[in-house]
Structure 1
Amino acid sequence: MNQSLATPVGTTLDRFIKKKQNDFAFATGELSQLLRDIALAGKIIHREVNRAGLLNIGGAYGAENVQGEEQQKLDVIANIRFIRALKNGGEVCAIVSEEDEEILDVKNPDGRYIVAMDPLDGSSNIDVNVSIGTIFSIFRRVSPVGGPITEEDVLQKGSEQVAAGYLLYGSSTMMVYTTGRGVNGFTYDPSLGEFFLSHPSIQIPKDGKIFSINEGSYKSFEPHVKEYIEACKEKNFTARYIGSLVADFHRNLLKGGIYIYPATDKSPNGKLRLNYECNALALICEQAGGKATDGKNRILNIQPETLHQRVPFYVGSTNMVDKAGQ
């Protein structure tokens, strides 16, 4: 038989998860199923994003979320889709979402995991067809299984994450995740309805030539941030800032660079949220050989005090983050 007529399609996400299951600290299959549930929700959001212009689900929803930000219609849709997938999967006991003020107790006392997520980061870019994403963190509950959810369950340091990842909806849809043993990326093939391993063992270069920052706020940056930006320009580094965190982070992860959202006069504590944006990307970056800080301290060592806590965020190539910090 001529095997060249049927070339292999590659390793599916499902097969990869099964193969790596024994690497998990608690190899019961629950975390594997949880990652599949997230992938399923990602496929649904891929469909919704790609049909947004046809179904009139772009644009503002007409309400604000807990952050005081105008919700987009797809923000609401993504939040509903991910919550539904996580509930139906049966592995989680609680969900923390950017779109909800309080902890969502899913009334599953036997669930062993907590998911913190930004269901659709950068959603204001939908109407102009710019890449957007989903960010997620997975924690193992610390309170006894079968009992009520506690504050300690949902306010864990990022170093306690058992898995973290993001989905990027762009020219192709990707899922990138880590379980603390390296970072792998999977690209969605809509014709087969499967994610396939496309970026195994991702490593971020120690140095890069890309800096991503909103220079519109330059006048309110701290002096050391201004100095770093000027140093980047003197070296003819490339400025790349989309305003979609997942897209900016993903580019720098693959090519080498730094993403900075510093403290400003308007946001003295930074703008990005620790629990469901910074922690996840910090773990991914570290597992890929990079670094993530708030300008001084390692992101994963910060003890959260509130669900929607904000922090300054410096993430990317190690040498660049070291130079950009205070």
Structure 2
Amino acid sequence: MHQRRTTLTRYTIEQEHRHPGASGEFSGLLNSLATAIKIISNQVNKGALVGMLGDAASDGAAVNVQGEVQKKLDVMSNDVMLKENEFSGHLSGMASEEMEDVYALPAHCKRGKYLLVFDPLDGSSNIDVNLTVGTIFSILRAPNPGKDASLEDFLQPGTEQVCAGLALYGPSTMLVLTTGNGVDGFTLDRDIGAFILTHPQMRIPAETHEFAINSSNERFWEPPVKRYVEECLAGKTGPRGKDFNMRWVASLVAETFRILTRGGIFMYPRDSKDPAKPGRLRLMYEANPISFLIEQAGGASTTGRERVMNVAPTDLHQRVPLIFGSKNEVERLSSYHAEYASGKEPDTFNSPLFSTRSLFRTQ
């Protein structure tokens, strides 16, 4: 007997049926996004076969608003996201990591009631070494539906998100999303060209024994982060009484999916490496959508000082620290920040275990 499988199209229609008065615009927008993701996946999968590896300009001249050298796939992915979604009639505007300003829809395109912000190809530094990359997106309601969106229209806190999601271009192509009713994961079935629900209602375990952080930045970390990591490294002989494993992929989508699948904590905390930047990851199209997914799966997400989705955005490309994952671990690290901020440094941070020495070199 044929087993019925839930496609993304069926899923979005069923979701809309639960909301009387739904117009079908939202499901239409998700279908446009899914099409863009399929196209990007196809190009990422072919890589060198279609000349898509390497920098966008051989002399390194192609640099985005972040000051980062663009890869060919960065440029292609951004163009696909724009072109596949501009004509749908469901958007009033779009904003991308790769573009300094809000993208103005062509004059002939109908304006809708949603806004789309995205990182078209997260983890692009991994492209040339064939590691997992992905797309991150966030959908907001347009304050002025039917009209061109302004920059101010996009500056909404993460709590206002209608939907958030990410796509992974790995051994299989996956789409993970939330509309505020949990997190569901879909796998692309290339035989039929459809996303199939394969990971319904993903949940993050509250306890974990894995942490992810770029240890090369240890000398720039704040004391609460140093304390937390040193306790993890102390393992069973330390105050935590258990061993931890460390992971670091340098791809936010890959880190997020691992945590959604088996738990863990991811840390890209505030540091002193560049005092002009209070954080490394972009609030609007990285931290907010990831935080929405994590919270809907039972995890927690913070800057170390406050809930990420409560941060009031002031700029399209605003950067924030980002710590997320298994709830108990995120809350522990948040408590270390609170203790340090309250002036408890002499008692709490000068224990025999904790010091400001390097964690990864012999003294």
Normalising TM by the smaller chain, what interval?
Answer: over 0.9
* Per-residue Cα deviation, 1:134-175 (whole angstroms, up to 9, x for no partner): 0000000112x3444233311000000000000011011100
1:93 maps to 2:92: yes
The number of aligned residues is: 320
State the structure with more CA Rg: 2
Say if 1:164 and 1:280, in contact at 8 Å, map to a contact too.
yes
1:254 maps to 2:261: yes
Counterpart position of 1:276: 285
CA displacement at 1:110 relative to structure 2: 3.0
**Cα separation, partners in 2 of 1:179 and 1:14, compared to 1, 3 Å:** same
Q: State how far apart, in whole Å, the 2-side matches of 1:289 and 1:315 are.
A: 11
Q: State how far apart, in whole Å, the 1-side matches of 2:162 and 2:310 are.
A: 15
Q: Give structure 1 stretches of 5+ with no counterpart.
A: none
Q: State how far apart, in whole Å, the 2-side matches of 1:157 and 1:23 are.
A: 25
* Per-residue Cα deviation, 1:213-237 (whole angstroms, up to 9, x for no partner): 1001111111110111111122321
CA displacement at 1:25 relative to structure 2: 8.1
Match of 2:325 among 279, 297, 316: 316
What SS class does the counterpart of residue 267 from structure 2 fall into? strand
Counterpart position of 2:180: 180
Counterpart position of 1:242: 249
Q: State how far apart, in whole Å, the 2-side matches of 1:194 and 1:211 are.
A: 34
Counterpart position of 1:71: 70
What SS class does the counterpart of residue 259 from structure 1 fall into? strand
Q: State how far apart, in whole Å, the 1-side matches of 2:55 and 2:148 are.
A: 36
CA displacement at 1:92 relative to structure 2: 0.7
Higher strand share: 1
* Per-residue Cα deviation, 1:106-138 (whole angstroms, up to 9, x for no partner): 145631111010000001101111000100000
State the identity %: 45
1:162-177 equivalence runs, <5 A: 162-177=162-177
Task: Report the AA paired with residue 273 of structure 1.
Answer: R
* Per-residue Cα deviation, 1:42-74 (whole angstroms, up to 9, x for no partner): 110110001112112111112110000110000
Task: Report the AA paired with residue 237 of structure 1.
Answer: F
1:1-326 equivalence runs, <5 A: 3=1, 7-8=2-3, 10-24=5-19, 27-62=22-57, 63-107=62-106, 108=109, 110-143=111-144, 145-235=145-235, 236-268=243-275, 269-325=278-334, 326=337
Q: Give structure 2 stretches of 5+ with no counterpart.
A: 236-242, 338-363
Task: Report the AA paired with residue 120 of structure 1.
Answer: L
CA RMSD of aligned residues (A): 1.4
CA displacement at 1:103 relative to structure 2: 0.4
Q: State how far apart, in whole Å, the 2-side matches of 1:55 and 1:69 are.
A: 23
Greater CA drift, 233-242 or 219-228: 233-242
**Cα separation, partners in 2 of 1:301 and 1:35, compared to 1, 3 Å:** same
Say if 2:267 and 2:322, in contact at 8 Å, map to a contact too.
yes
What SS class does the counterpart of residue 94 from structure 1 fall into? strand
**Cα separation, partners in 2 of 1:25 and 1:64, compared to 1, 3 Å:** farther
**Cα separation, partners in 2 of 1:237 and 1:82, compared to 1, 3 Å:** same
Q: Taking structure 2 as the reference length, what is the TM-score of the superposition?
A: 0.85
Task: Report the AA paired with residue 301 of structure 1.
Answer: N
Say if 2:63 and 2:70, in contact at 8 Å, map to a contact too.
yes
CA displacement at 1:26 relative to structure 2: 6.4
